Every structure is written in C-alpha cells, then in structure tokens.
C-alpha cells in the first residue's frame, strides 16, 4: 500500500502560541481517516497547514506527501499534486463565474500533470453530470463564485469541485456544518461516491453524523493539538454518546 | 517557505516593458522649442489652409496666457515646454499609395506589437489607421468604407480633402480655450484620425487606430475628430503602446466626438504606454482631453477605457448631453502599479430633458501607486427627468498604494435623480489562498480576481479588445503581490 500522507512529530504555532503539538498521522492510499475533536482543538489549523496557508510556523517535525517534503511546496503546487481542501468557509469571488473558476482549476491541475485541457464539450458534460448528482441546478454554475450562495449551496459547491478535481487526498474541513438534513445526505453520498482504492480522504468534523454515511477506516480523537486516541468507527459512536469529556479530563 | 521564495525570485525578473523598443528611422524634426514660428512650421509642413494656421496661432496665443492646472492628485517635475520637439515625421511617410510602400521597418514595429496590418486587413476586418509618430502611414479598408460614404482618414488628409467638414466641427466640442493641454494641442497638433459617418449609415466595421510614440523627446499631440451624422452608428477603437524611454514624454491628445440626432458613438481605448520603471523613472505623461457632444435628440455616446500604462494619467472623457433623451456612458478600468499616478474619471453634463448617464469605474492600485477617480455629474435646471447612476469601486493590492474617489455632484433640477455608489476593498488573503488551493499560482489568482472585479467594464469592450485587455491586466499586475 502506497503511503500518501505522513505527518511526523508536527508542532505548529500561531503568534507564538502552540496549536498543534507533536502530531503523528499516516494516511495510505485508499484509506479514509476521520479526525474528531471539540471546537478550538486545532483541527482547522491542521487543514490549513496541510494546504500551505500562510501565517503558521512549523516549530517541529515534518510532513511528507507521496514521499516528497510537502512543506517545500507552495499552496498551488500542493493542490496540483493532489491535495484538495474542501473549505469550512468557502470565499466569494465576485465577477468570476463558478463554471469558469472550476474550469480554470481543472486546467491548471491537468497542465501541471502534463495533460491537455479537456475539450469544452467534454468538460461541460462532466460538470453537468456531477452537478446533477449533487442537485446543483445548472444556472448556479453560471453564477458568480459563491456570491450570494447560502451556506448549504457553498458546501455543495465545494463537493462539486472535489468531484471535478478528483484529488488523491481530499481534506474535508467541517463539510457537514451548515447543511440541512437533505443536503447533508446528498453531499455525503456524493463524497462517498468518490471513494476509491486510488484516493484517500481526511475528514475533519465535530460531529459523528457525517461518519455514519461515509464510514471511515480510522477515527482519531484530536484534543489540544494532538491525537490522543485512535480506533475504528466505533470510537465515533462512543463520542456521539458521551461527548469529548472523557478525553478532556484524560 | 522555500518553495515560495523560489517563485518570488522568478517574479523578480519581471518582463521588462514588453513593447519597449525603438525603431531607428530618421525623423524630420522641427527645431526644439515652441513659438509662433514652430506653429507656422508645422502648419506649413502639412500644407494647411490659412484658416487652420490662424486657428492654431490663436490657440497658441491663448496658451501663453494660461497656467498649467495643478488641482489633480498627481506630482511631477515642471515640464520645460521649450525643451521638446513639436514635429517629427517619418521621412518616407509623405505619399503612400499602399502598404507595400510603407517602410519595412515600420511594418516590423507593428509586427512586434502583434499588429500585422496585412493580416488584420484580411482576418480581423478592422480598418487600421496607423499613426506612427506624427503622420499616418497606412490606411486600409478606405475603399470599402467609401462605398458606404464613411470617411476614415488621417486628420491631415481630412483637412485637405474635406475642409468643410473639418471647419464645421473642429473645436466645437473642445474649444481652443478649453484647458491648458487642449489649448496646447490646438496650437501644435500633429496628426490623428478623422471619421465621418453619413446619415443613416451603420459603420460596417470597427474603426481602429494604433498609436505609438517614437523619436526621442517628441511630444505627441494627436487630434481626433469623430462625427456621427443623423441616425448613424460607429464603434471606434484606440489602442496604444510606446517604446521604453528614460525621460518623460508628454502626450496631450484631444478627441472630439459629435453625435447628431439619433446617432450613436462607441469609443473604446486600451492605453498601455510606457509607465516608467519600478523606481518610477521615465514613463509617459498622458494629459488628454476627450469629450463627446450628444448634440442631437436621442443620441448616445459611450466611452470605454482600459488604462494600464503611463507614468501619469490625467484624463476625463466626458459627455455633454445636449439633445433631449440623449445618453452618455463611461466605463473605465484604471490600473496603477509601481509609482504610477492616475487621476481620471468623467464629466456628465446634463442639459437636455430626459437625459441619462451611467458611470462605472474600477480602479486597481498596487505597488506605491496612487489612483484617483474624479468625476462630475451636473444636471442643469432645464434638464427635467434626467438621471445618473455612478458606481466607483477601488481594489487595493498592497499597503503602500492609495485609492481615492472624488465625486462632484451638482443637481439643479428637482425632477432628476442622481445615484452614487462607491466601494473600496483590499484583495483578501482568503481569496488568494482559496484560488491557490485550487491550483492557481499567485499571479494567476490575482489576475482572476482582478478580472472578476473588472468584469462589468470588460464586457463593454468589443470582443477582440476584451481579450487584449484581459491580457494587459495580467501583464500590468505581474509580481504585484507577495
């Protein structure tokens, strides 16, 4: 089994405050990992660090992705190498249409990987197909990126990009938040459908409900910037029942 | 992050000004300096009729009594008007029958700019009146236009071939006494374009002029006059690039548009003159007076501009809405980088009844530049039921640049409505990161966000110009963030 992500003794601070402490995590090809933790435990810091956002200092440890030093790469290089972050709060970009943005992103990734851009007809067919799965009406593709989208529409749109870009490692940062019950099912099933032996996923979530639909191979409990317990899906069930109290006290 | 650092090093090799080359052609200079003799020299060189010489001289005498304006938010060392040449013409450009007779070096210059005249002639269907320095060297499609009665020629040619039209309209929108730079232009204007669309004719193609400043120390004093007769339509494109130079170059053009009853003029500009280097050395002073007169009822004039070049831009394309139900539009994108200074906007003067105007201005500042929108909306007492809508948006990319919006609104009619909206925003790190996370590098991300910001204006450009303008925006902003 090919090793995708390897986080080794990672410590991260923001403004000299430690957020992540000696974190270790390994994700192999084909695996789905879930990180569960209370608010403020450093979950979003982890996803931002993996994606390469500015403003975090790595004080210790290293991260490799497909056996390359991930920290050497810029955010766009990481994206083009196959790391996708489904944002907790997707941003609005006025004047840029949704479909044009997705096309630009896809072309950028294809070019990086030595592929020709998709023919316009093929692209259109693909995006319409994926949009349909997610229940995204076609006119929303022509709207400005995330502008005036509701919270749920934004999350669906993140799922659409995920399906279009088909990353080797998808990081879902609180993708379930802001979704009503129906939308939640649609998005979860769509994400589930991208599951394959080729790709891996890191699901960051506060609640267990997403994990009911996308059954992870591993569940990690993340408190105060490190993993304090790992297990199978049953660990998520336990948290659902008893909350994080046991871990906080422990 | 070392990955980023490597990229930044690459960015340090910013494209030196892409169009910064100078063609070596002997110029036929007038002696340096400005006096009545020089004005006569220019007029004489062009075989102008006496009335035009008198017109120039009266402008020159007026100019001597005027003072250079100092109200704009721009700074530059005093210009020595005696230390410049006011006439330079490529020697071989006097009589040209076809493009084959054009100096091959000139054609090569245009090729470098990506404007092969011949190809354009066949492919783009655009009639090109190429102004090189001060004299037009090639005019295409004239014959085809002639069939419709459209006149599209150099200004000098119009003076000789269509003196009545020139005499009737010249200076009627921008009088010789208008302002310091327009008056200077009236005295020493070199050449430019002349367009006349006869009644009821829809001009069958976009008319286009490419300007180019060349020859050391030559000021450019273009003069353009566009007349759309009753119920006619014309779309005119103007695009500019200039060779790299060390010293400042003064450019004081005048553009006059006249729209008679029911006529429509669409005037689009992409301006990409040399903006100076990264330390603010060199670059063109672009002090331009552009004004359109909606003289007839139901007429319409629309200005669209993409301004990325010049060290200093001082420019307010305006509309005088004289006819009832006439309308004026101003769509602008102004980009300032490094030490560029932009003070630009428009004037909408509502005189007739039921007149309307619309202003959309997008300013993008980066580096240490300053970018000011200055606009006047004036509704006169008799202009009943008139309305204006103004939207001014500024986008800042760095901490050292500045953006200002200075609207002047005067409404003297109680039935009229004036609306003004303004926003100012900084490009957000979250937007950049979001785009980068989708695989766009920093410059692509900036370019995408800026193009989105400018979309409302880009859409107003004719197709072929819109593509060029988008490229230009990206090039102008290279290395501007990070």
> Considering only alpha carbons, which residue of chain B is nearest residue A87?
B434
Gap between the Cα atoms of B6 and B265, Å rounded = 49
Tell whether B370 is covered by a domain.
no
Tell whether B206 is covered by a domain.
yes
Which stretch of A40-54, A74-88, B71-85, B241-255 has the lowest confidence by average pLDDT?
Answer: B241-255
Q: Which domain holds residue A149?
A: 3-249
Total tally of structural domains belonging to chain A = 1
The tens digit of pLDDT for each residue in B179-235 reads 999 999 999 998 888 999 999 999 988 887 654 444 333 457 889 999 999 999 999
Confidence class of residue B449 from pLDDT cuts 50, 70 and 90?
very high
The tens digit of pLDDT for each residue in B37-55 reads 999 988 988 889 999 999 9
Gap between the Cα atoms of A167 and A161, Å rounded = 10
For the segment A13-39, the average pLDDT, to the nearest whole number, is: 93
Which pLDDT belongs to residue A186? 85
Gap between the Cα atoms of B391 and B394, Å rounded = 10
Q: CB of B284 within 8 A of CB of B314? A: no
Question: What is chain B's alpha carbon radius of gyration, rounded to the nearest angstrom?
Answer: 22
DSSP B122: I
Q: CB of A42 within 8 A of CB of A20? A: yes
Confidence class of residue A245 from pLDDT cuts 50, 70 and 90?
confident
Q: Do the chains contact at B452 and A144, CB–CB below 8 Å?
A: yes
The tens digit of pLDDT for each residue in B88-111 reads 665 443 444 555 655 565 555 455
Which pLDDT belongs to residue B83? 84
Gap between the Cα atoms of A164 and A175, Å rounded = 17
Which pLDDT belongs to residue B154? 84
Q: Which domain holds residue B220?
A: 2-71+82-315
Which pLDDT belongs to residue B77? 86
> A166: burial class by Cβ within 10 Å (0-12, 13-18, 19+)?
middle
Which pLDDT belongs to residue B163? 95
For the segment A202-211, the average pLDDT, to the nearest whole number, is: 86
Which pLDDT belongs to residue B12? 40
**CA B280 to chain CA centroid, nearest Å:** 21
A71, A76, A144 member nearest B436 (Cβ): A76
> A146: burial class by Cβ within 10 Å (0-12, 13-18, 19+)?
buried
For the segment B114-143, the average pLDDT, to the nearest whole number, is: 47
For the segment B247-274, the average pLDDT, to the nearest whole number, is: 89
Per DSSP, the three-state class of B261 is coil
Task: Report the mean per-residue pLDDT for chain A.
Answer: 91
The tens digit of pLDDT for each residue in B331-389 reads 999 999 899 999 999 999 999 999 999 999 999 999 999 999 999 999 999 999 999 99
ipTM: 0.96
Which pLDDT belongs to residue B102? 55
Give the distance from residue B54's alpha carbon to the nearest chain A alpha carbon, in angstroms.
Answer: 52
Which pLDDT belongs to residue B471? 75
Confidence class of residue A39 from pLDDT cuts 50, 70 and 90?
confident
B2 touches chain A (CB under 8 A): yes
Any idea which residue has 């200093």 for tokens?
A: B312
More confident residue, A211 or A127: A127
Q: Do the chains contact at A93 and B434, CB–CB below 8 Å?
A: yes
Confidence class of residue A193 from pLDDT cuts 50, 70 and 90?
confident
Gap between the Cα atoms of B94 and B137, Å rounded = 8
The tens digit of pLDDT for each residue in B272-316 reads 887 888 888 888 899 999 999 999 999 999 999 999 888 999 999
Tell whether B482 is covered by a domain.
no
Which pLDDT belongs to residue B250? 84
More confident residue, A57 or B153: A57
B9 touches chain A (CB under 8 A): no
Residues of chain A positioned with their CB less than 8 A from the CB of B331? none
Tell whether B104 is covered by a domain.
yes
**CA A94 to chain CA centroid, nearest Å:** 24
Which stretch of A73-87, B43-57, B136-150 has the lowest confidence by average pLDDT?
Answer: B136-150
Beta bridge partners of B255: B224, B290
Confidence class of residue B246 from pLDDT cuts 50, 70 and 90?
very low
Size of interface A-B (CB pairs under 8 A): 86
B444 touches chain A (CB under 8 A): yes
Gap between the Cα atoms of A3 and B465, Å rounded = 50
Gap between the Cα atoms of B40 and B55, Å rounded = 11
| A248 pLDDT above the threshold of 80 | no
Which pLDDT belongs to residue B276? 82
| B120 pLDDT above the threshold of 90 | no
Tell whether B409 is covered by a domain.
no
More confident residue, B87 or B409: B409
Give the distance from residue A241's alpha carbon to the nearest chain B alpha carbon, in angstroms.
Answer: 35
What CATH number has the domain bearing residue A65? 3.40.50.300
3-state secondary structure chain A: CCEEEEEEEEEEEECCEEEEEEEEEEEECCCEEEEECCCCCCHHHHHHHHHCCCCCEEEEEEEEECCEEHHHCCHHHHHHHCEEEECCCCCCEEEEEHHHHHHHHHHHHHHHCCCCCCCHHHHHHHHHHHHHHCCCCHHHHHCEECCCCCHHHHHHHHHHHHHHHCCCEEEEECCCCCCCHHHHHHHHHHHHHCCCCCCEEEEEECCCHHHHHCCCCEEEEEECCEEEEEECHHHHHHHHHHCCHHHHHC
Strands B27-29 and B88-90 turn out to be antiparallel
For the segment B140-157, the average pLDDT, to the nearest whole number, is: 81
The tens digit of pLDDT for each residue in A132-152 reads 999 999 999 999 999 999 888
Gap between the Cα atoms of B401 and B369, Å rounded = 5
Total tally of structural domains belonging to chain B = 1
Beta bridge partners of B307: B271, B334
DSSP B292: E
Q: Do the chains contact at A84 and B434, CB–CB below 8 Å?
A: no
Contacts with A, B 145-164, CB within 8 Å: none
Which pLDDT belongs to residue A194? 87
A52, A91, A96 member nearest B448 (Cβ): A96
Per-residue burial over B129-144, b = 16 or more CB atoms within 10 Å of its CB, e = otherwise = bbbbbbbbbbbbbeee
Which pLDDT belongs to residue B111? 58
Contacts with B, A 81-120, CB within 8 Å: 84-85, 87, 90-91, 93-96, 101, 104-105, 108-109, 112
Task: Report the mean per-residue pLDDT for chain B.
Answer: 82
Tell whether B198 is covered by a domain.
yes
């Amino acid at each position: 089994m090919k090793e995708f992500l390897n986080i080794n003794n990672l410590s991260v601070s923001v403004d000299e405050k430690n957020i992540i402490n000696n974190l270790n995590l390994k994700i192999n090809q084909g695996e789905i990992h879930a990180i569960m933790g209370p608010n403020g435990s450093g979950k979003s810091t982890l996803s931002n660090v993996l994606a390469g956002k500015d403003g975090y200092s790595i004080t210790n440890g290293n991260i490799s992705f497909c056996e390359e030093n991930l920290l050497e790469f810029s955010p766009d290089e990481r994206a083009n190498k196959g790391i996708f972050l489904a944002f907790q709060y997707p941003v609005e970009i006025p004047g840029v249409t949704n479909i044009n943005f997705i096309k630009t992103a896809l072309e950028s990734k294809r070019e990086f990987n030595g592929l020709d851009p998709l023919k316009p007809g093929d692209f259109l067919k693909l995006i319409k197909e994926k949009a349909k799965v997610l229940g995204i009406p076609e006119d929303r593709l022509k709207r400005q990126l995330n502008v005036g989208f509701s919270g749920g529409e934004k999350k669906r749109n993140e799922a659409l990009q995920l399906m279009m870009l088909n990353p080797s490692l998808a990081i879902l940062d609180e993708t379930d938040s802001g979704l009503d019950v129906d939308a939640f099912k649609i998005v979860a099933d769509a994400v589930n459908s991208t599951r394959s032996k080729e790709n891996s996923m890191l699901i960051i979530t506060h609640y267990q409900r997403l994990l009911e639909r996308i059954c992870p191979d591993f569940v990690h409990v993340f408190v105060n910037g490190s993993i304090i317990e790992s297990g199978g899906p049953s660990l998520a069930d336990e948290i659902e029942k008893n909350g994080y109290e046991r871990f906080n006290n422990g | 992050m070392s990955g980023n650092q490597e990229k930044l090093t690459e960015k340090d090799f910013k494209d030196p000004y892409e169009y910064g080359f100078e063609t070596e052609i002997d110029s036929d200079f007038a002696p340096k300096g400005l006096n009545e003799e020089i004005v006569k020299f220019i007029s004489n060189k062009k075989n102008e009729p006496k009335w035009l010489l008198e017109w120039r001289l009266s402008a020159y005498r007026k100019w001597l009594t005027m003072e250079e304006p100092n109200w704009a938010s721009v700074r530059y060392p005093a210009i020595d008007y005696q230390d410049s040449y006011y006439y330079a013409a490529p020697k071989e450009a006097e009589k040209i029958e076809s493009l084959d007779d054009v100096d091959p070096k000139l054609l090569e210059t245009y090729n470098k700019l990506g404007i092969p005249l011949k190809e354009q002639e066949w492919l783009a269907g655009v009639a090109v009146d190429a102004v090189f320095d001060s004299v037009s060297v090639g005019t295409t499609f004239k014959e085809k236009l002639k069939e419709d009665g459209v006149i599209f020629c150099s200004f000098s040619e119009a003076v000789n071939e269509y003196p009545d039209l020139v005499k009737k309209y010249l200076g009627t929108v921008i009088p010789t006494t208008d302002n310091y730079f327009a008056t200077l232009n009236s005295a020493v204007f070199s050449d430019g374009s002349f367009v006349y669309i006869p009644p009821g004719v829809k001009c069958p193609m976009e008319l286009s002029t490419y300007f180019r400043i060349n020859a050391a120390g030559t000021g450019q004093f273009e003069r353009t006059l566009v007349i759309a007769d009753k119920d006619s339509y014309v779309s005119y494109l103007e695009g500019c690039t200039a060779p790299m130079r060390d010293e400042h170059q003064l450019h004081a053009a005048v553009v006059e548009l006249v729209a008679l009853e029911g006529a429509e003029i669409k005037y689009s500009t992409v301006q990409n003159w040399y903006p100076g280097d990264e330390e603010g050395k060199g670059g063109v002073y672009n002090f331009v007076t552009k004004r359109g007169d909606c003289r007839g009822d139901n007429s319409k004039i629309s200005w669209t501009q993409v301004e990325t070049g010049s060290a200093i831009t001082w420019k307010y394309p305006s509309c005088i809405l004289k006819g009832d139900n006439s309308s004026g539009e101003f769509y602008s994108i102004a980009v300032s980088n490094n030490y560029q200074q932009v003070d630009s906007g428009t004037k909408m003067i509502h005189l007739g009844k039921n007149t309307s105007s619309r202003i959309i201005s997008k300013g993008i500042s980066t580096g240490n530049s300053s970018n000011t929108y200055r606009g006047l909306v004036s509704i006169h007492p008799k202009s009943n039921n008139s309305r204006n809508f103004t939207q001014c948006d500024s986008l800042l990319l760095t901490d050292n640049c500045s953006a200002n919006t200075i609207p002047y609104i005067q409404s003297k009619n109680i039935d009229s409505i004036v609306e003004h909206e303004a926003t100012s925003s900084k490009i957000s790190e979250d937007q950049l990161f979001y785009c980068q996370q989708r695989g766009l590098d920093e410059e692509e991300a900036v370019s995408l966000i800026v193009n989105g910001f400018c979309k409302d204006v880009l859409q107003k450009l004719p197709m072929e110009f819109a593509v060029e303008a988008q490229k230009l925006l990206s090039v102008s902003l290279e290395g501007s963030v990070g």
